[in-house]
Amino acid sequence: MTPRWLVGTAVAALLSVGAAAQTPQGQVPSGETSLGSVTLPRAVMANGQTLRAGAYQVRLTAEAAQPTVPGIQMERWVEFLRGGKVVGREVVSIIPRDEEKDLHSGGKGPRPAAGTARVETLKGDDYVRVWINRRGVNYLLHLPPAKG
């Protein structure tokens, strides 16, 4: 017989995935959802932890960043996964489609196409920007290079 807590956990996970799949284009999902994969060209710092260069899955959590930052409407935590395990976390700035006009590239090229990500080193190698465009919503991370 399957333990009751395991069934509840499985149902909650399915509901979370279903809710993310039903989020209309251009709207920020309310729950946890995969944002896709990115490849970091160098080691960076994420919430005080070093993330080595390489490929990661990025997952948006339902956890809002605290305290809130004036002038920034939405910030949540994302998790970096490698081999199915969370190896780092960082706060992501979320820019929904209706606020996209205020978003300036400041980088080497255009915004990433829908369903893709762009990772680039900016400002004289001061940080790595991870820019994910998922279902019409832009997610921005700014990660300083790792020391050493």
Q: Is residue 111 part of a domain?
A: yes
Residue 80 belongs to what H/E stretch? strand 75-82
Q: Is residue 18 part of a domain?
A: yes
Q: Is residue 71 part of a domain?
A: yes
Confidence of residue 100 (pLDDT cuts 50, 70, 90): low
Residues 78 and 92: their CA atoms lie apart, in Å, by: 6
Radius of gyration of the chain (CA): 16
State the distance between the two ends of the chain, measured CA to CA, in whole angstroms.
52
**Which DSSP category does 1 fall into?**
-
At residue 69, the pLDDT reads 60
| SS3 per residue for 16-54 | HHHHHHCCCCCCCCCCCEEEEEEEECCCEEECCEEECCE
Q: Is residue 16 part of a domain?
A: yes
Q: Is residue 148 part of a domain?
A: no
Name the one residue in this structure whose structure tokens are 């489609």.
97
Residue 55: strand pairing partners: 39
Range of the structural domain that residue 41 is part of: 4-143
pLDDT tens-digit readout, 2-40: 444 333 333 333 334 444 455 666 667 788 999 999 999
Q: Which long-range contacts (CB under 8 A, 24 or more apart) does 82-86 make?
A: 82/54, 82/55, 82/56, 82/57
Please state the pTM of the whole predicted model.
Answer: 0.75
Q: Which two tokens stand for residue 141?
A: 């991370």
Are residues 117 and 130 in contact, defined by beta-carbon separation less than 8 angstroms? yes
Q: In total, how many domains does the chain have?
A: 1
Q: Is residue 124 part of a domain?
A: yes
